[in-house]
Amino acid sequence: MTRLQALSHAFQGEERNWYRGLTALDQAVVPVVHPEGFLSLEELTLLEAAQSSADTRPASSENHGAKVQ
Considering its fold, how many domains does the chain have in total?
Answer: 1
pLDDT in tens, 16-66: 888 999 999 988 999 999 877 778 889 889 999 999 888 887 765 555 555
64 part of a folded domain: no
Distance CA 63, CA 13 (A): 45
* H/E element, 54: helix 41-56
Q: Is residue 61 part of a domain?
A: no
| Full-model pTM | 0.49
pLDDT of residue 69: 47
Task: With respect to residue 21, please indicate whether it lies within any of the assigned structural domains.
Answer: yes
Domain membership flag for residue 60: no
For residue 41, the cross-strand partners are none
Q: Structural domain of residue 50, as residue ranges?
A: 1-55
User: The dihedral of CA 9, 20, 13, 28: what is its sign?
Assistant: positive
Residue 36, domain member (yes or no):
yes
**Domain assignment of residue 69, yes or no:** no
